[in-house]
Amino acid sequence: MIRSRIAPTPSGYLHIGNALNFILVWLWVRKSGGMLWLRIDDRDTPRSRPEHMDDIFRTLEWMGIDWDEGPQTPDEEARIYSQTLRSGRYDEMTQLLIGSGEVFACACSRREIHERACACRSMRLPLDRPDTALRIATSTDPISVCDAKAGSISVSLDNEMKDFVIRRRDAIPAYQLVSLTDDIDHDINLIIRGDDLLSSTAGQLYLASLLGASAFSEISFYHHPLLYNEQGHKLSKSSGSPSLKALRESGVTQAQFYMMMSDILRSKEKYTSLREMLEVEIEVLKQPSLFF
């Protein structure tokens, strides 16, 4: 059975780019009779805001998206599912990676990283020093990512994310480690994400290989194109594209939203709900040039 997830972050209001990802994941899972998990990426407490957490649930309801596992309310997220409750598990994974011999400590400040490449790899600093990040020594061998549409893609971690961080200086586990751990623990076998996360997929596959987590390397990945505005900028909160909250609050109904998405996706059909979109074949979801 297909097991997939949508994984929003409560560090800002969701936007149309997020909506596209949720639509693709929901359609793929529902068309294949699979399981959908709502995983909220809230490990970074200082950047998580209650109003953004609330926005995730309101937006999913407004879009007509349902899910089978995970929190149904912000309260359930905080009490039962929050990644902040799983620090022990992320520490355990960090220890396993340390056991692989490929982890090193980095004492560089944010400013130093900005000014020059980190050279801590050869310094063998103690791993338990406070205010020290942990990095993984990436390999010069390219990582092969198998994508449902593009086939095998070769990614050089040395070019894309050389010696990436697995635990930050403030001891918060980094996205790559948390995402990998959660996907392994929930037996995820399909990950649909934007193509800006291709290098993250490669980084996570590399961590999985060090951990001997063979199930992760068998996951089906699909990296979908992002939506761009007329100026060629990625639609995101940083590019100033309207948040879904702003659309909702300006009175846009669910039907109007899906008609708008039909236009954005250059679909011949004008859909007024997600359920109507179930007629779109999975092969078409994989070939977004037909759908977009």
Q: Which residues bind Zn ion (CB under 5 A)?
A: 106, 108, 118, 120
In whole angstroms, how close is the CB of 139 to Zn ion at the nearest point? 18
- What is the C-alpha to C-alpha distance for residues 15 and 17, in angstroms, rounded to an integer? 5
- CB count within 10 Å of CB 132 equals 20
Adjacent-strand bridge partners of 136: 103
Q: What are phi and psi of 200, to 5 degrees?
A: -60, -40
Indicate the DSSP class of residue 142: P
Q: How far is the CB of 176 from Zn ion (least distance, A)?
A: 17
Q: Which is nearer to Zn ion, 120 or 190 (CB)?
A: 120
CB of 134 to Zn ion, least distance (A): 11
In terms of CB distance, is 160 or 276 closer to Zn ion?
A: 160
Name the minimum Å distance from CB 107 to Zn ion: 6
CB-wise, 107 or 259, nearer to Zn ion?
Answer: 107
Nearest distance, CB of residue 113 and Zn ion, angstroms: 7
Pairwise CA distance, residues 267 & 196, whole Å: 23
Q: How far is the CB of 63 from Zn ion (least distance, A)?
A: 42
Helix or strand run (H / E) with residue 263: helix 254-264
Do residues 149 and 53 touch, judged by C-beta distance below 8 A? no
Name the packing angle between helices 198-211 and 175-185 (round to 10°): 70
Q: Which is nearer to Zn ion, 35 or 120 (CB)?
A: 120
CB 136 within 8 A of CB 207: yes
Q: Which two tokens stand for residue 282?
A: 């999975």
Q: Where are the alpha helices (DSSP H) in 49-109?
A: 50-63, 74-76, 87-99
Comparing CB distances to Zn ion, the nearer of 6 and 108 is 108
Residue where the block lists tokens 């199930």: 215
Kindly tell me which of 134 and 219 has the beta carbon lying closer to Zn ion. Answer: 134
